[in-house]
Amino acid sequence: MAAGTGNAIARCRIRKNDTVMVIKGRDRGKTGKVLRVLPGTGRVVIERLNIVKRHSKPRGTASPGGIVEKEAPLAVSNVMVMCDRCNAPVRIAIKVAAGTATRVCRRCAEPLGNE
Q: Give CA–CA dist 36/111, Å, rounded.
A: 21
Q: Which residue, 34 or 45, is less far from Zn ion as judged by CB?
A: 34
In the complex with Zn ion, which residue's Cβ is closer, 12 or 93?
Answer: 93
* 12-31: contacts with Zn ion (CB under 5 A): none
d(CA 22, CA 62): 35
Q: Does 105 bind Zn ion (CB under 5 A)?
A: yes
Q: How do strand 19-22 and strand 31-38 relate by DSSP bridges? A: antiparallel
Total number of residues that touch Zn ion (CB under 5 A): 6
Contacts of 101 (CB under 8 A, 6+ apart): 9, 94, 95
Query: Of 25 and 113, which has the nearer Cβ to Zn ion?
Result: 113
Q: Is residue 112 within the footprint of Zn ion (CB under 5 A)?
A: no
Residue selected from 79, 81, 83, 92 as contacting Zn ion according to rule CB under 5 A: 83
